[in-house]
Structure 1
């Protein structure tokens, strides 16, 4: 599966404690059908509660990639 929306959390290796920037990066790129790329990093984990809340407020739904049907 490919991603369409990068949290850019990998670019924060120097400024690691900026969960607000991760949230902004995701929300600025958000489009219908977005697949958000996030890496397992401590500063990403700090952003998740707020980010998921904001996405739900925008009406976004979350799906398990295993359940996506691929059509050829």
Structure 2
């Protein structure tokens, strides 16, 4: 059981690092400050359906799974 949890934690950790590295940067720099960054566009209205939103949700799910496996591993020891 302990070996299975270690392997599961390794797989989840690699997936978590990969998903985090796939996400784009969030900085707008001065262009967002000057223009206000509040322009209404098709992209901003449908942001929940984009691949960026999917990667963000997948990051949260993998982080929670990683933490849960860590806790279970410590309880088993």
TM-score scaled by length of structure 1:
0.27
Richer in helix (by share)? 2
Q: Point out which structure has higher relative CO (alpha carbons under 8 A, 6+ apart).
A: 2
Q: Which structure is larger by alpha-carbon Rg, 1 or 2?
A: 2
The structure whose residues are more often strand, as a share, is 1
